[in-house]
Structure 1
Amino acid sequence: MLITAPPIRSRVGSLLENDTDYYKEQWGFGTWSVEIKQPQLQISREYTPLPPNAGSPEKLRLYIRKEKGGEMSNYLWGLKEKGKLGLRGPKLGFELKEGITDVVFLAGGTGIAPALQVAYTLLERRKYEMDQSRPKIRILWANREREELHDENHTGISTTSNISHKIQNPVVKIITELQQKHPGCLKVMYLVDEEGTMINQKLISSAMKRDEKTIQRDTNTSMYSKLLFVSGPEGFVNHFAGPKKWQGGGEQQGGVGGILGNMGITGWKVWKL
C-alpha cells in the first residue's frame, strides 16, 4: 500500500514564501526517514519516504506492507482516506557525497524505498557537467510473491511486459518513470522467492561489474566512489551483510559478514540500512 501524508509542519518555517519543496534539504542529502506514531498503543516506527510526485512535491509518499501481526502496518492499513497521522522528523541517514560513480542496492521487500531515495537524489537532484558523469545504479529487488509487484486493487494490461499482465504497483511505476527519464543509468532486476529467483553471489558480482566507459571516466576525473547498500528486514540484511551491533548505547554498522563477507569485496563501501 502507498499512502500520502502532508508535510511535517515543523519544516514550514524554514521555507521561502510559496516554496512547495518542503524536503529540499533531505532530497539533496541522501537517505532519510520519518517516524509514525500509533496513538492507541503508543508505539512508533520509522518509514522511508518514496520519491515525491511531481504534481504534489510537498506530500510524503510511504510504501507500507501489511504484515500478519504487525501492529503498525495493520493500523496504517486500517486508516480511512484523509485519516490523521502523527509524524515526527525528518531523520537523516546515509549522506551521498560528491563523486559517486556506482551504486549497487540489494533490496528486500519494502527495502526498495531507500534504494529509490538514492536513485532519485543522485539522478534527479544532482547536477552533472556531462550525462556520462551520472552514476550507474543497479538494484536487485527481492519479493516473496509476484503479486507484490502488482496494484492490489486493480487488474489490466501492464506497460512493462517483464512484470506481468497486471497493473504495476505504484513503486514499480516510480521505477519505470526514473528509468525512462535516465536511460542507461538505472537498472532494476525483479526477483521473486516463490518463482525460485533469488539474489545470489553470481547476481551480486554481475551487478558490481563496471563497463569500460565508467572505468575510463574514473581515470579521467580521478574520482572513484562505489557504494553497496543492503536494505530490508533484519534477517535479509544479516544474510547478505551480517548483523549490525550495539555499541556505546546505539546501533552501529559492525563488520561486513554474510554473503558479502564471504565474497571478500574490496573497493566498495558497504552500508546496512
Structure 2
Amino acid sequence: MKTSTRALRLIREQCLSTTLAKSIRTSCRPTTIPLNLAPLRSRPFSSTALKASLGDQHNKETDRLARQFEEQNEQKDNRQSRRRLFWLGVILVAIPGSAHLWSQWRDAELWDFDHFSPFTIMKRENVSSTAFILTVRPCYGPKNHGAKDSVYKKHWEQGTWNVDIAQPEMQITRAYTPLPPTESDRPDELRFLIRKEPRGEVSGYLSRLPVGAEVKIRRGRSGLDVADFKERSITDMVFLAGGTGVVPAMQFAHSLFEEQTFQNWKPRLHIVWANRRREDCLGGDSQSRWTPNEGKPKNPIVKELEDMQRKHPEQLSIEYVVDEERTSINETRILQIARTMPIPSPNRPNFIFVSGPEGFVKYFAGSTVQERFQKEYGKMVPIRGLLGRMNLAGWEIIQLD
C-alpha cells in the first residue's frame, strides 16, 4: 500500500512538471511570423539585402526629418514675416502721425507770441529809391506744405495782421505788416514793404542785411476781422493809406476778395493811396482807377494792386495821390468819395479805415487812437482829426496801428 501510494505521488508530480513545461514552451513560441521577416525566412540570409533594406529605411527617415525641418523653418519664416509686416505697418502709421505732430509743434513754435524764430532773407526787390520788398522764409518749419496748409492761412482769411521783427543790435522790435501772397510765392514765405527812414533803427538795420542773412521774427497782433463786416453785411468801405500803410489795405482787400465766399454779401472797397513822390507809386493812374492802366512802367506794389483790381473790377477801386504833384486827400475829396456810396443806415454804416505813418494817422484820426475809440480815464473818446471834425453821419472810423 505504501509503495503504490508513493508511486502515485511521483506519477502526479511528473505529469504536473510535464504540463508546465509544455505550457511555457507554448507561450514563448510566436504564433505568427512578422511580415518584414517573412522574406528572410523564405530564402537564405543575404547581408546585401539587409544593407539595402536598412539604407532605404535610413533614406526615408532622413527625407522625413528634412521635410519636418523645412516645414518648421517655413513656419518660423512666416511668423517672422508677419512680425515684420506688423512692425512695418506700425512704422508706416506712426511716421505720418509723428511728422504731423512734429509739424504742428514746429508751426506752433514758429508762430509764437513769446518767442522769436529765425528766418532767412531770400530776396530783396527795390520799389523806389527809399523802399524795397524783403522776402523771408523760416529756417525750419512747414517748407513743403501746400498753399492750403500754410501756417499763415488763417491770418490771410481773417483780415489784417502783423509781425514783430527784432533789431538785435539795439534790442528793439518793430511791427511790420506782411504783403498778401502772390501766385509765385511759396506758402511759407513772407514779404514786407520796407521804407528806409533816416532815423529808423529797424528799417536801417534791415536795409543793411544781405540776401542769406538771418532775421528774428515773432507773431504780432491781428487787426481787422473780415468776419465782423460780413456778419453785419457791411458793403461800402474806404481805406485811406499813407506810404507803407497801403499794405494793410492790400491785406484787407485780399481777405475780402480772395479768401471769402460772397453768396449774398458783395462788399466794395475804395483804396486811396497817398505818397510823397511819384516813384513810390510809379505807374498808378487815378484817372483810370476803375480800369487798370496799361502800357506804363509800374513798380511792384502798383502791379499787385492792379492785379487785384483786374480780378474784381466791380468791387475794388484804387486812387493815387502824390504830394509832389499837388494832389492830396482833403475834406473835399473825402466828401466826394462819400457821395458816390450808398447812404449809410444805423444798422449798416459805412466805414473809413486809416493806416500809415504816425503823422498821416494823426492828421485824419487825431492823436494816438487805436481802432475807433481809445480809453481816457475810463471814458470812451471819439476820433478827432480831420475825420472827427467832418462828423460824417453814418460813417465809422477805424485807425490801424
Give the TM interval when normalised to the shorter protein: 0.7 to 0.9
Decide which of 242, 262, 265 is 1:128's aligned counterpart.
262
Residues 234, 348 of structure 2: 8 Å contact kept: yes
Distance (Å, rounded) in 1 between the aligned partners of 2:234 and 2:213: 40
Residues 253, 269 of structure 2: 8 Å contact kept: yes
Distance (Å, rounded) in 2 between the aligned partners of 1:109 and 1:73: 14
Cα displacement (A) at 1:207: 2.1
Count of residue pairs brought into register by the alignment? 251
Residues 243, 254 of structure 1: 8 Å contact kept: no
The 5 A counterparts of 1:17-166 are 19-55=148-184, 56-96=186-226, 97=228, 98=230, 99-129=233-263, 133-150=265-282, 160=293, 165=296
The 5 A counterparts of 1:9-24 are 19-24=148-153
Ranked by relative contact order (alpha carbons within 8 Å, sequence separation 6 or more), the top structure is 1
Residues 8, 89 of structure 1: 8 Å contact kept: no
**Which residue of structure 2 lines up, in the alignment, with residue 239 of structure 1?**
363
Larger radius of gyration: 2
Distance (Å, rounded) in 1 between the aligned partners of 2:171 and 2:387: 37
- CA change 1:18–1:31 in 2 (3 A) is closer
Residues 195, 244 of structure 2: 8 Å contact kept: yes
Distance (Å, rounded) in 2 between the aligned partners of 1:17 and 1:47: 24
Higher helix proportion: 2
Q: Which runs of 4+ in 1 moved over 3 A?
A: 7-10, 16-20, 245-249
Residue 243 of structure 1: SS of its match in structure 2? coil
Instruction: Determine if the alignment matches structure 1 residue 179 to structure 2 residue 292.
Output: no
Residues 175, 220 of structure 2: 8 Å contact kept: no
- Structure 1 unaligned segments of length 5 or more: list them: 152-158
Cα displacement (A) at 1:31: 1.2
Residue 114 of structure 1: SS of its match in structure 2? helix
**Which residue of structure 2 lines up, in the alignment, with residue 154 of structure 1?**
none
- Structure 2 unaligned segments of length 5 or more: list them: 1-131, 284-291
TM-score for both structures, normalised by structure 2? 0.57
Q: Note the aligned Cα RMSD (angstroms).
A: 3.1
**Which residue of structure 1 lines up, in the alignment, with residue 320 of structure 2?**
190
Instruction: Determine if the alignment matches structure 1 residue 261 to structure 2 residue 378.
Output: no
Deviations 1:194-240 (A, max 9, x none): 110000112112222345xx67xx99xx9724221011111111111
**Which residue of structure 2 lines up, in the alignment, with residue 2 of structure 1?**
133
Distance (Å, rounded) in 2 between the aligned partners of 1:237 and 1:4: 27
